[in-house]
Amino acid sequence: MKNKTLFIKNVKAIISCDSNDQVYENMNIFIESGVIKDISNKVYEAEKTIDATGMIIYPGLINTHHHLYQIFTRNLPEVQNMELFPWLLHLYEIWKNLDADTIRFSSLVGMGELLKTGCTTCFDHHYVFPNNVANNLIDVQFEAATELGIRMHCSRGSMSLSKKDGGLPPDAVVQSVEEILNDSERLIKEYHDSEPYSMRQMVLAPCSPFSVTGELMKKSAELARKYNVRLHTHLCETIDEENFTIEKFGMRPLEYMKSLGWIGDDVWFAHGIHFNDEELELLAKTKTGVAHCPVSNMKLSSGIARISEMQKMEIPVGLAVDGSASNDGSNILEEIRVAYLLQRLKYSNESIGGYEILKLATNGGAEILGRQHDLGSLKVGKAADLFMIDSNRIELVGTQYDYKAMLGTVGVKGSVDYTIVNGNVVVENGKLVNIDEKKVALKANILVEKLNCSN
C-alpha cells in the first residue's frame, strides 16, 4: 500500500540507533514521501495513521549477504551433514537448473520472510547463471523486490573458474570474463540509482577465490570503481579456502584479494572468520567491511568470526542471514539473537552486547552498503524504514528494562507486527501486504519439487 503521508502515534519506545543512542518514549513519528519529517509529541493529519500504543519501534534491519535462490534447496537431507566444499559440489548440480521462475519465487519467499522479521533493505549475492538460461535473473529479482516493497541492493555475481581449470564449480554454471563484465555494465546502467533514498542499487560480486579467476576479480574491481558501485565476495569462510589460495597463489586469502585491488571502504567480505591479527589491522585501517553470518557459520561448522574484536577496532561489520541452503531461513531477527549468543560463548565478558549487535544490523549494514547518510537509524531526514513490535506479547513480559538490547538478549520469535519501507506499510499485523502469502507459497513449493527433481 502506498501513501504519501503516514502518522504513527503514541509509540511506547523508539529505539533510534542514532549517534546519541537516543530512545524516545511516548512520541509520534510523521513521515512524508518516504522520509522521517518529525519525531515529537506533535499531532499530524495524514493519509494513513497507525496507533502504536504499546509498540516498540526499531530502525529497519539491513541484510548484507544472501543467496535468495538457495531457498529452493534448503533442508535437503543429503547435505545436512556436510562442510562447505562437498556441500557446494553436491548443490551445483541442482543449481545448474535454475531459471527465471525459480528466481522470481525464491526471491518473493526469501524477501517476504526478511520483511516479516524486520528487514527493510536486502542485499543479495546472486552468482549462478546457468549456460542455457537467459541473462535476466537480476532483472527478475528487482521486479520481485518492487512487488514486495523492499529496498533492494542486487549484485551481478559470477563464476569463471570451472573444475577443468582448477576451480570448484562445473562448466554448466561458469561464464567467460567478457560475458560477465558486459552484463555487469548493462545492469549498472539500467538499475543503479545512487541518489539518496534510492530503492535499487547494484554491486559487483564475483563468487569466491575458488570459483573465479584473478583476472575477473581485477576487472570487476576496475568496472565497479568506474561506476562508483561496491564490491563484494566470500572470504575467509573456511580453512579449505585458505589452503586453496596458499597452494594456488602462495598467499593467504586477504593478501590475495589485496593483490587484486580488493581492499578499501567500497569492499565488504562475507563471513571473515579466519582473519589473523595482522589482517584485522588491515581491515580496520582500510575500512574494508565484513558481513557476519552466524547461523550459516554454525550450520556449516565454519567457525566463529571475531566480531567483538572487529567492533572494538571499528571495522565496518553488518549482519546477514546468508543463503538459505546453509541457514536454512531468512529470519534476520534470529540472526541478531544468535550473533549475541555466539559472541557471548566466545568472548564472555569481553563480548559485545545485544544493543551493539542491533547497531551492526542497522548502522553497520548501512555503512557497508554505503547508505549511512539515509539508512540505519531513525531521525529526521532519514528514510522511513522501520519495524514495530507489540511489547504486550506474552513472551516479552518483563523485558521493559532494556528494549535497546532486547532483540539480542531475549530475542523476538515469529513475525514483527508492522514493517514500513520508504514510508509504506509492507507488513501489517504480521502479514505481507503486497502479496498473497499462501498463493506464493503453494506455487513456490511446486517449483521447489521441479528444481530438485530436475537433477
Q: State the nearest-atom distance from the C-beta of 237 to Zn ion, in Å.
A: 8
Q: Please, what is the minimum distance in Å from the beta carbon of residue 208 to Zn ion?
A: 8
Residues of this chain that bind Zn ion (CB under 5 A): 322
C-alpha angle 282-287-291 in degrees, rounded to nearest 5 = 100
Radius of gyration of the chain from its Cα atoms, rounded to whole angstroms? 21
DSSP lists the bridge partners of residue 232 as: 268
Rounded to an integer, what distance in angstroms lies between the CA atom of residue 272 and that of residue 293?
Answer: 9
Kind and range of the H or E run holding 421: strand 418-421
* Complex with Zn ion: residue 183 or 322, whichever CB lies closer: 322
User: How far is it, in rounded angstroms, from Cα 101 to Cα 338?
Assistant: 32
Residue 211 near residue 161 (C-beta atoms within 8 A) = yes
| CA proximity to 156, closest of 219, 203, 101 | 203
**Residue closer to Zn ion, measured from CB, 322 or 367:** 322
Nearer Cβ to Zn ion, position 322 or 417? 322
C-alpha to C-alpha distance for 366 and 131, rounded to whole angstroms: 34
Q: How far is the CB of 398 from Zn ion (least distance, A)?
A: 37
- The single residue listed with the C-alpha cell 543512542 is 21
Contacts of 219 (CB under 8 A, 6+ apart): 177, 181
Distance CA 385, CA 17 (A): 13
Is the separation of the CB atoms in 419 and 427 below 8 Å? Answer: yes
How many CA atoms, within 13 angstroms, populate the side-chain half-sphere of residue 203?
28
Closest contact distance (angstroms) between CB of 66 and Zn ion is 8
By C-beta, is 152 or 427 nearer to Zn ion?
152
Nearer to Zn ion, 279 or 322 (CB): 322
For Zn ion, which is the closer residue by CB, 12 or 65? Answer: 65
CA-closest candidate to residue 47, choices 93, 4, 90: 4
Q: What is the DSSP string of 342-364?
A: HHHHHHGGGS--HHHHHHIIIII
Minimum Å gap between C-beta 65 and Zn ion is 6
Between 124 and 322, whose beta carbon lies closer to Zn ion?
322
Quote the least distance from Cβ 39 to Zn ion, whole Å: 36
Contact 5, 32 (CB under 8 A): yes
User: How far apart are the C-alpha atoms of 107 and 324, rounded to whole Å?
Assistant: 11
The candidate with the shortest Cα–Cα distance to 441, out of 172, 113, 154, is: 113
- Residue least distant from Zn ion (Cβ): 322
* CA–CA distance, 110 with 284 (Å, rounded to integer): 32
127 or 355: whose CB is closer to Zn ion?
Answer: 127
Q: How far is the CB of 145 from Zn ion (least distance, A)?
A: 19
Residue entry with cell 507488513: 427
Closer to Zn ion by Cβ: residue 9 or 292: 292
Q: Do 254 and 282 form a contact (C-beta atoms < 8 A)? A: yes
CB 317 within 8 A of CB 367: no
Closer residue to Zn ion in complex, CB, 241/322: 322
Angle between helix 437-453 and helix 100-116 axes, rounded to 10 deg: 130
CB-wise, 67 or 404, nearer to Zn ion?
Answer: 67
